[in-house]
Structure 1
Amino acid sequence: MASNSAAVFGSTGLVGSYILSNLLATGPFKPVHTVGRRPPKATSPNLNSIIDADVTKWPAALTGISPAPHVAFSAIGTTRAAAGGIENQWKIDHDLNVEVARAAKQAGVKTFVFISSVGSDGFLASTSPYSKMKKGVETTVRELEFDHGIIVRPGLILGEREDKRFAEGLAMTFARGLGFLGLKDSFAQDAEVIARAAIRATQLADEGKAPSKFWVLGQGDIIRLGRTEWESKEEPKEEQK
C-alpha cells in the first residue's frame, strides 16, 4: 500500500472533480488515481487515469492498482432521468458504490470516503428511494470496518454542472438568496467546500484526530472543515508571497 496515494471515483462529476483538482493542487497524495468512463479535465504528472466505459469493471480496476491507494473517495452518482429510471439509478448510486467500497477493503485501502446526502438518516432514509440508496452504501461502509470510514452528507450542492437540471437550478437560486440572510450554509454547500471537507477529514484521520473510526460529516462539519479550517490553513501561505 502506498501511504500517500489516493483513488477517486466520480472524478468527472461536480464534487468529484473538485476532490481531484484539490488533491492535485495541494497534495499530499501522490499519485492520484481516477477510475471512470472518460478522462477527467484535470491534468498532472501525478495523475493516473483508468478509463473504462463498463462500470462493472471499476471495482476490479481498483483492486488492480499496485500498490493499493491509502485512501479512496467515491463521489459516484447519477439522477433518475439520466439513468433511465429508478432501477437503473439504484445500480449506480447504490450497487456500484457498494462494490467499489468492497473492492477498496479487499485491496487494503485504509480510509474510504463516500459522498452521501443529507436525509440518508432519519425519516427520509425509510421513505425516499434516493435516501435509501445512500443509506445502504453508508451501512456497507460501516460494516466493512475500514481503519476510517468517512461519510459526507451535504445538503443542496451548489456549482455548475455539465448537465443542467431545471428544478435544481431553481433550488440553487433560492439557496443563494438565503446567503443574504446568513442562512445558506444550513441548506446548501458549494461543491468545492464539500470536496475540501472530504480531503481535510482524511488528513485528520491520518493524524489520529478523527472522532471515531466511522465518521459522519454533517453540513456544519462540511463548512467548518472545507471552508473555515481550510482557509485558515491557506492564510500563512498567502502572507509569505
Structure 2
Amino acid sequence: MSTAAVIGSTGLVGSHILSTLLNSDAVAAVHTISRRAPKSSGAKLQAAVEPDTTQWAGKLSAITPPPTTVFSALGTTRQAAGGIANQWKIDHDLNIELAKAAKARGVRNFVFISSAGTRGLLSGHVPYAQMKVGVEDAIKELGFDHAVILRPGLIIGEREKAHQGGWLMNAFVNGLGRIAGQGARDALGQDADVIAKAAVHAARLAEEGKAPEKYWVVEQADIVRLGRTEWKD
C-alpha cells in the first residue's frame, strides 16, 4: 500500500484529493501540511498544522518514511495574498521549494495541479501563467520517477472564500452545459472532485508503472477521462 502527502489540502481541489485518498483502500497513510486543519478526518490522516509556510519544506522532509507520492494543489489568488509579489511566493516559490524537498527526501512521484492555457501565445506576459510554467519546469528538471502535471480549465465548485467573478464563471459554464451538453461544459471547466480523482488515478497509474510518460501532462480531456469516465472507487 502506498503513502501520500497532500499540500493545499484545505483548498477546493486539494480537499477533494485528500478525501479521495482517505477513502482509498490502496493508501495506507496520508500526510498533510497546512495553515489550518483540513476538514476531512480519519485513522489514516496525519495532519501537520503550521501557520508559517517557511517551515513547510522542513515538515515535508521530516515525514518518515517518505511518502510514495506528493500531491500539490497549493495556490492562492492575488487578492487573497495581498498582491502579485506575495502570490508569487506561494504559487511559485513555495511550490518549487516543496518539490525540491520531496525529491531530496526520496519521494518517487510528484503530482502538481497547474492550469490550462499557461503556455499560450500571450502567456509569457501573464504573471499567473509564468508562475505555473516555472513550477512545471522545475518539477520536470528535478527528475522524479514520475511527475504528473494536471492542467484543468475553470475549476468548478463552491469555495470557502469565493474568487472575484468565480460564481459568475461557474454559472456560465453550468448553464452552457445545460444548453449545449456535457461536452461543451467539459471543454471549458471541470468539477473539483473530478480533477482530484484524475490526480489520484494518474498517481496510481504512475505507481503501477502504467503512466504513459515519465513526465506526464494531463490536459482537460484526460482529466475528464481519468476522473470521471474511467474512475473506479
TM-score by shorter chain over 0.5: yes
Distance 2:223 2:198 in 1: 5
Instruction: Give the match for residue 24 of structure 1.
Output: 22
Q: Tell me what 1:44 maps to.
A: 42
Aligned counterpart, 1:216: 217
Residue 238 of structure 1 is matched in structure 2 by: none
* Structure 1: segments with no counterpart, 5+ residues: 235-241
| Structure 2 residue aligned with 1:154 | 152
Q: Distance in 1 between matches of 2:123 and 2:218?
A: 17
1:136 aligns with 2:134: yes
2:99 counterpart (88, 93, 101)? 101
Q: Identical aligned pairs, as a percentage?
A: 56
Structure 2 match to 1:164: 162
> Which amino acid in structure 2 is aligned with residue 56 of structure 1?
T
Extract unaligned runs of 5+ from structure 2. Answer: none
Equivalent-residue separation in structure 2 for 1:20 and 1:31 (angstroms): 11
Match of 1:79 in 2: 77
Deviation digits for residues 16-51 of structure 1, max 9, x if unmatched? 000000000123121100001011010101100011
Instruction: Give the equivalent residue in structure 1 for 2:87.
Output: 89
Q: Aligned equivalents of 2:52 and 2:164: distance in 1? A: 29
Amino acid at match of 1:114: F
Residues of 2 paired with 1:19 and 1:174: CA distance? 25
2:7 and 2:123 map into 1 onto residues whose CA distance is 24
Supply the RMSD in Å over aligned alpha carbons: 1.0
Shift of 1:124: 4.0
Distance 2:164 2:135 in 1: 27
Report the TM-score, using the length of structure 1 for normalisation.
Answer: 0.93
Q: Tell me how many residue pairs correspond in the alignment.
A: 230
Alpha-carbon distance between aligned partners in 2 of 1:124 and 1:73, rounded to the nearest angstrom: 28
Give the aligned residue type for 2:175.
Answer: G
Between the aligned partners of 2:111 and 2:203, the Cα distance in structure 1 is 8
